[in-house]
Amino acid sequence: MNGSTTFDLAISGMTCASCAGRVERALGKVPGVQSVSVNLANERAHVEVLGPMDPGVLIAAVDKAGYGATLPQSETATKADQTQRLHRERWALLLAILLALPLVLPMLAAPLGLHWMLPAWAQFALATPVQFIVGARFYSAAWNAVRAGAGNMDLLVAIGTSAGYGLSVYQWLTTQPGTAPHLYFEASAVVIALVLLGKYLESRAKRQTASAIRALEALRPERAIRVLDGREEDVAINALKLNDRVLVKPGERFPVDGEVVEGQSHADEALISGESLPVPKQPGDKVTGGAINGEGRLLVRTLAVGAESVLARIIRLVEEAQAAKAPIQKMVDKVSQVFVPAVLVLAVATLLGWWLYGASLETAIINAVAVLVIACPCALGLATPTAIMAGTGVAARHGILIKDAEALERAHEVSTVVFDKTGTLTCGTPKIVHLAAVDGNQALLLQHAGALQRGSEHSLAKAVLDACKEQGLTVPDVSASHSLTGRGIAGTLDGQSLALGNRRLLEDSGLSMGELGTRAAAWEAEGRTLSWLLEQGASPRVLGLFAFGDTLKPGALAAVQHLKARHIRCHLLTGDNRGSARVVARPSGLKTCTPKCCPPTRQPPSPS
C-alpha cells in the first residue's frame, strides 16, 4: 500500500484468544490503522497504518483495552525475558502445588479408611498465600478486563475462587465452637494450582513454538564484511543497503540475498531448496542469505536486506500461520466473547433458583460457586489457539511449513500426499554409495581421496572423510594441494601426483573411462554424482571412481507405509532426473513424476 507504515508491538497480558481479539479491535479503532494481526504465539501485534503515526498512540490504545504494549526489544532481550518469565511461572506453580497438596490429602486418604482433617486455621494459612500471592495475577488480569468492559477466563478464576475462599472464611468464623465447619479452601487452592499448570504448559508451548522461529533467525548472520572503496569494514546486518558489496569468506553464511560479483565457489543451499549437493557459484549467479559458502572467497552485491530477504519471508510465513485463525477458532472467538457473562448469569440464576426453591442460603451459594469453579479452567478459549501454536511449531521444527491454520484444521481430509525428494524423503547430505578401484584396492582408493579432500569444506569432501572414518582409515597429509576451478582438487602424496574431480577433469587429462565406463553409465543413470581419482604426471591413468548420492531418511519408509495403511495415496514429485527419482521411489513404493515428464498445465503453487 502506498504511503503505509508498519509497526510491530510486543503485547503483554494476553491469556487467550479473546484477549488477542480485544487487542485487535482496540488497535483497529485507531484512526489511520489499515490492518491489524495479533499473534498470540509470540505475543506480537503487526499493525499497518496509512501515513506516519506516533507508536505511542497505538500503545495507548492497547493500554486502554487492559493490556500492555511496548516496542519490541532485541531478540536476545526478548529471549531472556521469556526465560525469566517461564522461570517465575514454574516457581509459582510449584509453590501452589506444595501449599494445596496438604489440603487435598485428607480427601485422597478417605477411600483408604483414614478420616482426618486439618484444623481450620491450618487450612486458612495454607490457602491464603495461594489465593492472594500466587493467584494475584488472576486478580490483576480480571481488573484489567473489568476496566476494559469485557470478561475473560481470569475473571472467572478470580470470582470463582474468591467465592469459595470467602465462603470458607465465613463458615469458619460463624460456626459454633466444637462443630466442624464445611470449608472449601482446598477447592479454591486446587483450582488456582490447576489453572497455573495450564498457564505454564501454554507458556512452554509458546516458547517452543517461538524457538522454531528463532532457529530460522539464527541462520542469518548478525554481522557482515562490507567492502567500500577497497576497504573492508565489519558492520551490523541492519547497516547494509541495496547494492552494497559484501565479502563472504569460505565456510561463512551469506549475510544477504545478492549476486556474485567476483570469485568462484560452491554454496550449500539445503536450507532453502533442500538440495544436498553444493551449487556452483560464479559472477552473475544469485546467492541466498543463510546459505553456506564453500571453498572460495566471494564478493556479493546486495539485492535484498531485512524483511525482503528469502529467509525473512520464510520466517514471516511461519509467524502468519501461527497468527491465522482457523474456521473453528473464529467460531470459538465469538462464543468466548459471551461465555464469561453467560457463566456469571448462570451462577446468579443458580443462587436465586436454589434459594427461592427453599434451600438454605449456604446451599445456594455453594451451588453457585460450583458453577463458577467448574467454568474456570475453560478449554474453550485456550485449546484451539494452543493447538494451532503447538501444531505449527512442531511442524516448523521438523522442516514443514504450514500455509495457514485452515490447512492444519483440514489435514484430516488429506487423501493424497506428494513428496519432494531431497531433504524430505532423503537425508539431504551426500554419501558415497558406490566406489570402484581399477586395481581392486578400494581401501587405498578411499584413503588417497580422503588425503586430497582433507580440510575441504565441500559436502562431497565431507562424504569421503566420513567414509574413511567409518572404515577406520588413516588419512595422510598431501603436499602442494590446490584447487582446480570447476574440475576438482589436486595434490602430491608420497611423490605421486593425484587429482580428484569430475568428468571435465578426466577429459582435460586426455583419459578415457576404460573398464569403469560401464559402471559410470549405470551409476549416472541412477542420478549419482561421479568423481574420478587420477594419477597425473608423465603417465596419467585412472585409479578409480566414486559415486555420490543422497540416502533415504531412517523413518522415510515407515512414514510412507503408515500413510498407505491409512489408504492415502503417495507420490514423488522431483526436479531431479528419472534415475535419481527411481532410486528413492522403488524402495518406498511411490509413483514418480518429474517436471520433465509431466509438465504442469498451470503455474505451480509456491513452496509455502
Q: Which positions are catalytic?
A: 420
Other beta carbons less than 10 A from residue 372's beta carbon:
23
* Three-state secondary-structure class, residue 242: coil
Alpha carbon distance 14, 41 (integer Å):
10
* Three-state secondary-structure class, residue 484: strand
Beta bridge partners of 231: 228
Specify whether the CB–CB gap between 175 and 181 falls below 8 A: yes
Alpha carbon distance 161, 155 (integer Å):
10
Alpha carbon distance 551, 549 (integer Å):
7
Which of 270, 278, 311, 310 lies closest to 296, judged by CA? 278
Alpha carbon distance 266, 291 (integer Å):
10
Alpha carbon distance 97, 84 (integer Å):
20
When computed from its CA atoms, the radius of gyration of the chain, rounded to whole angstroms, is: 33
Specify whether the CB–CB gap between 415 and 569 falls below 8 A: yes
- E strand segments, 311-466: 416-419, 431-437
Alpha carbon distance 543, 532 (integer Å):
8
DSSP state of 130: I
Grid coordinates representing 354?
436454589
CA 196 → CA 106, 117, 201, 481, distances in Å? 22, 26, 9, 63
Specify whether the CB–CB gap between 225 and 240 falls below 8 A: no
Alpha carbon distance 125, 118 (integer Å):
11
Residues 466-489: b if buried by 16+ CB within 10 A, e if exposed: ebbeeeebebeebeebebeeebbb
Specify whether the CB–CB gap between 430 and 588 falls below 8 A: no
Sign of the torsion angle spanned by Cα atoms 274, 280, 284, 290: positive
Specify whether the CB–CB gap between 319 and 39 falls below 8 A: yes
- Residues near 327 by beta carbon (within 8 Å), at least 6 away in sequence: 406, 409
- Residues near 430 by beta carbon (within 8 Å), at least 6 away in sequence: 276, 277, 459, 460, 463, 529, 548, 549, 550
Single-letter residue type at 136: A
Angle among Cα 321, 408, 269 to the nearest 5 degrees reads: 60
Q: What is the largest CA-CA distance in the chain?
A: 114
DSSP state of 278: P
Interaxial angle between packed helices 153-174 and 361-375, expressed in degrees from 0 to 180 and rounded to the nearest 10:
150
Grid coordinates representing 528?
549419482
